[in-house]
Amino acid sequence: MQQDNFEYLANLLMKKSGHVLTPEKGYLLDSRLGPIARKEGVNSVEELVRAMRTRNDEQLNWAVTEAMTTNETFFFRDRTPFDLFKAEVIPHLVENRRPGVKAKIWCAAASAGQEPYSLAMVLREERTMLRGMQMDILASDISDKIIDKAKAGIYSQFEVQRGLPVQLMVKYFEKEGDMWKIDPSLRQNIKFRVFNLLESYLSVGNFDVVFCRNVLIYFNKETKRDILNRMAQKMAPDGFLFLGAAETVLGLTDEFEPVAGKRGLYRRKQRVDVAKVA
């Protein structure tokens, strides 16, 4: 792709989503934007970007942004965060919240829904440990199309086989033709929402736990710092943050500190009496 067209596309993605497009990611252009180019009736991604530069079509701009920011995910991805959620986070919240108070979880880049549904399955399986405590989940993503898929809760055989234990697939999914549909009861405490992490967080509420995994790697340092600092302000003083294995808060913010020996798990650094936030 010509340098000026690549720079135009990179600047668009930065402005719309905060994602950094580097030349090393150029291999993604044909696979992700090729279908849009064909739909627009042009012969290549290069022609598509030239059309974008002349048309200033906001709908097309967002279609391209969504295509480039839709990331792969799967059920119980990396497994460890879900084990830590069960072993470390649930017991802490049960012990440090008043009876009847709902705990709130934010999956800040929920993609097609595998992460929030995985958490919902953990909560269902560990309901005895919860002692009647209810946990609500906000699942957000920048793409309205991917959020629609998450809401539907319908997955291919390939998707349910990736990371999902067979016993949970049998227990929580029903076969529909060639697809698998998740148990509607798992959606009861999940709210799906289109949300851009660059926007104001005033409307998202406050949370005890935030999953923001494998997202920060796509942002520059300044955007990472801004997102982490603003997330911290929406979390309980003893709140937990989950990041991806290749991500860290070190050198970015003093709002969080690593949980010793628990890779990818962080807590708010400030400490107050947790009874005041229960």
**pLDDT for 1:** 79
**pLDDT for 271:** 55
Calculate what percentage of the chain has a pLDDT beyond 90.
77
**pLDDT for 100:** 82
φ, ψ of residue 228 in degrees (nearest 5)? -65, -45
Stretch 130-138: mean pLDDT, rounded? 94
Residue 263 falls in the annotated catalytic set: no
- pLDDT beyond 90 at 276: no
19-64 pLDDT, tens per residue? 888 888 888 888 889 989 999 999 899 999 999 998 888 999 988 9
Q: How confident is the model at residue 12 (pLDDT cuts 50, 70, 90)?
A: very high
Catalytic residue from among 32, 124, 193, 230: 32
Ramachandran area for residue 115 (φ above 0: left; ψ -120 to 50: alpha; else beta): alpha
Give the relative orientation of helices 58-69 and 3-17 as an angle to the nearest 10 degrees.
90
- Mean of per-residue pLDDT scores for the chain: 92
59-108 pLDDT, tens per residue? 999 889 988 887 778 999 999 999 999 999 999 999 999 888 899 999 99
**Pair 143, 112: CB distance under 8 Å:** no
**pLDDT for 27:** 81
Q: How confident is the model at residue 228 (pLDDT cuts 50, 70, 90)?
A: very high
DSSP the chain: --HHHHHHHHHHHHHHH-B---GGGTTHHHHHHHHHHHHTT-SSHHHHHHHHHHH--HHHHHHHHHHHH-----TTTTSHHHHHIIIIIHHHHHHHS-TTPPEEEEETT-TTTHHHHHHHHHHHHTHHHHTT--EEEEEEES-HHHHHHHHHTEEEHHHHHSS--HHHHHHHEEEETTEEEE-GGGGTTEEEEE--TTS-STTT--EEEEE-TT-GGGB-HHHHHHHHHHHHTTEEEEEEEE--TT---TTT-SSEEEPTT-TTEEEES----GGGT-
- pLDDT beyond 90 at 130: yes
Structural domains of the chain, ranges and CATH numbers in brackets: 3-69 (1.10.155.10), 80-276 (3.40.50.150)
**pLDDT for 270:** 66
Stretch 251-260: mean pLDDT, rounded? 95
Residue 141 falls in the annotated catalytic set: yes
Say what the pTM is.
0.87
Catalytic residue from among 77, 97, 141, 268: 141
55 CB neighbour count, 10 Å cutoff: 11
**pLDDT for 149:** 94
**pLDDT for 272:** 54
Burial 26-48 (b: 16+ CB within 10 A, else e): eeebeebbeebbeebeeeebbeb
Distance CA 183, CA 170 (A): 10
- pLDDT beyond 70 at 210: yes
Q: How confident is the model at residue 216 (pLDDT cuts 50, 70, 90)?
A: very high
**pLDDT for 234:** 97
Least confident stretch, 12-16, 23-27, 185-189: 23-27
Q: How confident is the model at residue 273 (pLDDT cuts 50, 70, 90)?
A: low
